[in-house]
Amino acid sequence: MEKLALDIIGLSYSQTQSGAYALVLGERNGNRRLPIIIGGFEAQAIAIELEKMTPSRPLTHDLLKSIAVGFDINVKEILVYNLVEGIFFAKLLCESNGKEIEIDARTSDAIAVAVRFNCPIYTHEFILATAGIILEDDNIDNINDEIDDVDEEALDDEVEGQEETDITKINSKKLEEMLQEAISNEDYERASQLRDELTSRSSN
């Protein structure tokens, strides 16, 4: 099965889930984004490495890398290989003494390891087709202009109202509109929630 390369686009604090973060992966040479909600510990582990910070004592993922290097194990790549009921599944593809080994892992842990080994991150087309959020080139170029044209107070009121509304009670057409608005505002966490609700309805 063909693999598609992903890059880490951003990491932001969740406004709706306490202690959670939204990790956004982007399709390389493409316009699809894959938002994944992760825990605070894993977000910290990823952010520290991306910012090239050195903690006073090794974090768990640093320890894992030290053990792997000590036993001559190289992590070659990370593969996000499945998506079941909104949960992403990943694995580490490792090599040691000419032998390849696959190790199952949570996606957040796998990516925290990937940034330490500077190895590529991949996924399959069906995952991006199912869970990916398409950001059109025109939207990318015009996001700032569109935001500037919006009444900020009205936007704040609308977003607040969306967060407080049970999305399961909103019709699909309105959800589609809210999804496009969330994408335009680069609110990937909100877009992820709306996407999951629409996907759930289409599968029923």
Tell me the C-alpha distance between 139 and 132, whole Å: 16
DSSP letters, 131-154, are H-EE--HHHHHHHHHHHHTS-HHH
Residue range 4-27: mean pLDDT, rounded:
84
User: Domains in the chain, start-ordered, CATH in brackets?
Assistant: 3-131 (3.10.690.10), 137-203 (no CATH)
pLDDT tens-digit series, residues 183-195 = 777 677 778 888 8
pLDDT tens-digit series, residues 44-96 = 889 889 888 877 888 899 999 999 999 999 999 999 999 998 899 999 999 99
Helices (H) and strands (E) in the chain, counts: 8, 8
* Span of 79-83, 109-113, 170-174 with lowest mean pLDDT: 170-174
Give which of 168, 51, 45 is closest to 114, Cα–Cα: 45
Tell me the C-alpha distance between 195 and 22, whole Å: 14
Q: Tell me the three state secondary structure of residue 104.
A: strand
